[in-house]
Amino acid sequence: MALECLVSAESPKTQGESELSWLKRVITGPFASGVPKGLSIEATLKDLYKDGRNPIFPAKANETFYAPGGTERELIQKRFETLTHLLSSLLCFKLGNNVVGGWGEMSQPAKDAAARAVLDFDELCLSDGKQEVTFLPEVQIFDKPRRFGNLWCRASVKGPLGLKSMSELRLKRNSELWTNCCIFQSLPLSGVNFFSFEMNLLQNHVKAPRPSHPR
């Protein structure tokens, strides 16, 4: 929407012109000098529009459709980063560097260091209302295969959990709250003797609540 708003302010869409043709016309025309170096605008817009925007916003039956939490999420995340890069560059070109910041990104070693720091916890707390049980989990950090280009971890606990259900998961380090996750539907735990969850640091907001727990 932000990209279309910027393009529309420069040159409105004409009657009978498709949205993709309109975007290409304006970005390769008045905005050509603002396109990031090395970015093929024709291929990029086609990918962002047909394989990114359409399956999410005007998704229709019998056509490609991306559901929240689907397997395509990582591809959409990468497309979103490309879109942000393009939009930032065009805004800088149109409004000047004093109005819009440039494009900055952490190096992969810096991302890995941040992920390892966040995934470095030593207590796992499961709670349901006022009842809470604390465990010392076994934590494994994986760098292959990566998820969303980042490290991820799996934390596991064995033995009777002592809870009939859980609605919140808390991670602690040195007895201090590290991070937590609220569950929108209470998860039954009766008879469960093994609990495991996986965690990934994305540095982007991708929360998509699910109405049920498949596992």
Residue-wise DSSP of 148-185: TTEEEEEEEEES----SEEEEEEEEETTEEEEEEEEEE
Per-residue pLDDT reduced to its tens digit, 56-75:
766 666 667 666 666 777 77
Count CB atoms within 10 A of the CB of residue 193. Answer: 10
* pTM more than 0.75: no
Mean pLDDT of 153-182: 89
C-alpha count within 13 angstroms, C-beta hemisphere, residue 32:
4
For residue 202, how far is the Cα from the chain centroid?
6
Higher pLDDT, 142 or 160: 142
Query: What order do you get walking across the sheet with 123-128 strand by strand?
Result: 131-135, 123-128, 165-173, 176-188
Q: What is the pLDDT of residue 83?
A: 86
**19-52 pLDDT per residue, tens:** 888 988 999 899 988 888 888 888 888 888 777 7
pLDDT surpasses 80 at 121: yes
Contact 22, 7 (CB under 8 A): yes
* Least reliable range by pLDDT among 100-104, 116-120, 146-150: 100-104
Instruction: State yes or no: pLDDT of 171 exceeds 90.
Output: yes
Q: How many residues does the chain have?
A: 215
- What digits encode the pLDDT tens for the residues 172-215? 999 999 988 888 788 888 888 899 989 887 765 444 444 444 43
What rounded mean pLDDT belongs to the chain?
81
- CA gap 151, 146 in Å, rounded: 6
pLDDT reading at 123 higher than 80: yes
**DSSP single-letter state for residue 32:** G
DSSP 128: E
